[in-house]
Amino acid sequence: MAKYELPINSRMLKSDFVFGVATSSYQIEGGAEEGGRTPSIWDTFCAVPGKVDNGDNGAVACDHYHLWKQDVAMIAELGVDAYRLSIAWSRIVPRDGEVNPEGLKFYENIIDECHALGMKVYVTLYHWDLPQYLEEKGGWLNRETAYKFAQYADIVSQHFGDKIDVYSTLNEPAVSAFLGYRFGIHAPGIKGNKEGFLASHHTMLAHGLAMPILRKNAPNSMHGLVVNAWPAYAESEKDQFAVELSEAESYHWFVDPVLKGEYPAIVKERYPYDMPMILEGDMAIISAPIDYLGVNYYSRNVVRLNEHNVVEKVVLEDVEKTHIGWEVYPQGLTDLLVAMKQRYDNLPPIYITENGAAGDDSVTDGEVNDTQRVNYFQTHLKATHDAIEAGVQIDGYFAWSLMDNFEWAFGYEQRFGIVHVDYTTQTRTLKQSAKAYQAMLVERAAGNK
């Protein structure tokens, strides 16, 4: 095994710090018409010309539906402590009021195999693949969908209970609500500020409604929420308001209601005519206590107010970027985590639930030399360590992603995996980043003995 010089020795982190890898159902599973699964909004969205690069879809993806056992073995060989995956809602509840035992069995097999190989399982209940039959009733614009989610959470947690070590209600509600219902970039492709904010409130309500159900059915598991955050930086001193508004819209809007019981005032003042109807008791439901907060970090935004008093992102030149065009900025992760601790007196333990880089990766002589990704992980683990040193409680780190997969509107052009996937043959090839991660974990295991 090659020796990788790491700027941070993993043993500097506490011995029970969790290292893992992450995936999501629609991005890897395939088997779209197998096992009793019915369509999700992403099946429908992918069929609309021009919505996804190259007309790609997740019908086959990484064929994890059939190759799950070899994939779980591959994860275990990396030496990680945990595997973070999501459950496809429409595999479990293929039609309203109907439970699919075959879908439950599929995930049970994966969970049991992970446990047999010594790994914990972190399950996300909703990673953007809303059943299409619910979208036809309004999707997240329909308040009833929040209650349907609570029923789905009840079905899953009644079946698995504490067998799932850690439950996440939602992954990145900012993306599913705003990219899906405000900006139209993701499924179901709806555009409108009013629609986006309404969808966001209903997703947060869904989270809150599910929390007491999960606690009742899985009292020994941990329960929480995963948000994505892009910290904002001002282009110049006069752009501080742009920073405050950018962060308030992109992630305070989703964390404040949980940890402070309110939506940020700056957003309500900015969009007074687009605010959702909030019923009495909603905020109390949403602010149910959580055991942890998952934070997904990839990069930062540099922002300014333009001549129309609108926040716009500044495209930086002469900075390192990944293949997807995002700046490599590890300091942003430290800044973000420290700022969150300062903002929230009741900040629970944090897990970095996604962190990774897209590359233009290919296999040459059986190797994938993704040097940039190796460096990306090294510097971001150092940034995580710096935040811990600054007093933030961080209990784990998950690399995104286990393997190349369907990257939503980008299709298969963007490769985030530490494992390369040949989509024609479904051959998996560990990239140098996977080997570096593995080497770090082997070193850590040896040091902990």
The pLDDT of residue 2 is 42
| Rounded distance between C-alpha atoms, residue 200 and residue 248, angstroms | 13
Q: What is the pLDDT of residue 292?
A: 98
- The string of DSSP letters for 199-213 reads HHHHHHHHHHHHHHH
User: Distance (Å, rounded) from C-alpha 274 to C-alpha 57?
Assistant: 33
Q: Can you give the residue ranges of every domain in the chain? A: 10-448
For residue 444, what pLDDT is reported?
85
pLDDT the model gives residue 294: 99
Distance CA 64, CA 48 (A): 24
Whole-number pLDDT of residue 445: 84
User: What is the maximum span of the chain, computed from C-alpha positions, in angstroms?
Assistant: 62
The set of residues, in sequence order, having a beta carbon less than 8 Å from that of 6 and lying 6+ positions away, is: 378, 381, 436, 440
pLDDT score recorded for residue 410: 98
CA pair distance 188, 182, nearest whole angstrom:
10
Q: What is the mean pLDDT of each run of 10 residues along the chain (449 residues)?
A: 46 80 98 98 98 98 98 98 98 98 98 98 98 98 98 98 98 98 98 98 99 98 98 96 97 98 98 98 98 98 94 96 98 98 98 98 97 95 94 97 98 98 98 94 81
Q: Are 94 and 104 in contact (CB under 8 A)?
A: no
Rounded to an integer, what distance in angstroms lies between the CA atom of residue 81 and that of residue 276?
Answer: 41
Options 29, 195, 247, 354, the catalytic residue = 354
CATH class of 10-448: alpha beta
Measure the CA–CA gap between 263 and 255, rounded to whole angstroms: 9
pLDDT the model gives residue 15: 78
Contact 204, 258 (CB under 8 A): yes
Known catalytic residue: 77? no
Determine the Cα–Cα distance for residues 187 and 53; give it in Å rounded to an integer. 14
pTM of the predicted model as reported, rounded to 2 decimal places: 0.97
What pLDDT is recorded for position 303? 98
Measured from the Cβ of residue 73, the count of other Cβ atoms closer than 10 Å reads: 11
- Identify the pLDDT of residue 12: 56
